[in-house]
Amino acid sequence: MTTDAPATAPTAVVDIGLRRLALPRGIAFAGTSFAFAGLYLAAGAPTPILFLLQQHWGFPAWALTVAFATYAFALIASLLVVGKLSDHVGRRPVIAVALAVQVVAMIAFVFAPNIGWVIGARALQGIATGAATSAFTASVVELAPERFKRLGSIIVGTAAASGLGLGALFAGIVVQWSTDADAIVFTVLAIVAVLGLVIALLSPETSSPQSGALSALVPRVAVPRQARREFAAAAPGIVGAWMFASLFMGLGPTIVADVFHIDSGAVDGVTAFAAPAAAAITGFLLGGLTARRTVLIGGVAVLVGTAVIIGGIWGGSLPLFVGGGIIGGVGFGASFSGALRAMAPLAQPHERAGLFAAIYVAAYLAFGLPAIIGGLLIAPLGLLGTSIAYAVVIFAVAAVGTVAEATMARRERAVLG
């Protein structure tokens, strides 16, 4: 005797089909790490492109910094609104929607006819990156196989830096050798975003649904109580490190052209690549040290790198400027990856995206706001004066962060000993 199939059979078949297509956890971990870096690859690429567009369209220097910083402020707004959402609805849907918006932003760059259109595309890109960043960070940490948990924390601490650097280098090389650089660069980045979207859809979900999704959209940062002391100590170092990155990514091409009198897309790309590349390599090389020691090394390196940069700008020496960028990039990578490693274990799974959102809000405020202020000061102070003043502020903030971390280290030794 036959019986009718249950009404839920079609749904079950679809669910089984999706599970069969799902990536194994190890491959999903690697693929999600790639997609996360790809998000920042697209963030770094506009650095040489924007300078090229300024030469072609003739817009003022302040508009260049506005285009650069619009991304950071859109990212912050997105983080504040969407940063905790993946703790409630899951990592995968948030990442997938954000990457779809990223594809639209890349297409907008390809067809941009003026600086206003570019600023709009940068805003879309910032919204996508802000929505995806905390979800991506949590997903990479959670997808990491047990024996690779430390590697997962290192990857989330270096993905932004490596992506920013490689994006700038890639775009700079294309600018040097192609007359249609913007179309080539952003078409490639659209394809990277599509690949990331496919990976997100096929990766296993790592977060159980939680109630309160609508209330999570109310803009606020959420540092768990048990992580607040660590966050307060790390915040000045994070701000100093990301201000350092902003100096290179925001003003670097203008400094190369106006202070060192070099007009080359490849040099712009290599200059912008130096600091974040050093940051990414450092994050991996120092992964065996304790988080506290890593952050302290980072703070000292930012201080030394900033001093060398001031000497390079003042003396008109590009090698000294780039050398300072590499030293400071070591500090950027150590400070940020160490801070993430120190704070990630202090949050429960349902608190993780909120904590990472708070960290990235601090980072991107430091990345975007000084760039806009610097752009506005170029007219009254000149590029040389603005660059040196910028570097002096970085030095001061990084010094505060280094002292705060050293104080935390002394307290820990006192407790242990």
Mean pLDDT score of the chain, rounded to an integer?
A: 83
pTM of model > 0.75:
no
180 lies in some domain: yes
Indicate whether 141 pLDDT > 80: yes
Do the beta carbons of residue 238 and residue 335 sit within 8 Å? yes
Return the pLDDT at 84: 81
Domain count, the chain: 1
Return the pLDDT at 271: 81
Summarize pLDDT for 385-410 with one digit per residue, the tens.
Answer: 888 888 889 999 999 999 998 998 88
Contacts of 205 (CB under 8 A, 6+ apart): 90, 91, 92
192 lies in some domain: yes
218 lies in some domain: no
Closest CA to 302 of 400, 385, 157, 371: 400
Return the pLDDT at 14: 41
Sorting pLDDT into bands at 50, 70 and 90, what band is 103? very high
Indicate whether 154 pLDDT > 90: no
Sorting pLDDT into bands at 50, 70 and 90, what band is 299? very high
> Hunting for tokens 């300072």 — which residue is that?
324
Return the pLDDT at 8: 43
Sorting pLDDT into bands at 50, 70 and 90, what band is 3? very low
- Cα–Cα distance measured from residue 106 to residue 104, given in angstroms and rounded to the nearest whole number: 6
200 lies in some domain: yes
Q: What does the DSSP assignment read for 235-268? A: HHHHHHHHHHHHIIIIIHHHHHHHTS----HHHH
Summarize pLDDT for 162-206 with one digit per residue, the tens.
Answer: 787 788 888 888 988 888 888 999 999 999 999 999 999 999 888
Closest CA to 370 of 255, 274, 233, 249: 249
Sorting pLDDT into bands at 50, 70 and 90, what band is 377? confident
4 lies in some domain: no
CATH of the domain at 69: 1.20.1250.20
- Cα–Cα distance measured from residue 327 to residue 182, given in angstroms and rounded to the nearest whole number: 30
Domain residues for 269?
Answer: 20-211+224-416
3 lies in some domain: no
Q: Which of 100-114, 145-159, 227-241, 295-309 has the lowest mean pLDDT?
A: 145-159
285 lies in some domain: yes
3-state DSSP assignment of residue 3 = coil
Mean pLDDT of 51-80: 81
Sorting pLDDT into bands at 50, 70 and 90, what band is 297? very high
111 lies in some domain: yes
Sorting pLDDT into bands at 50, 70 and 90, what band is 21? low
Return the pLDDT at 76: 85
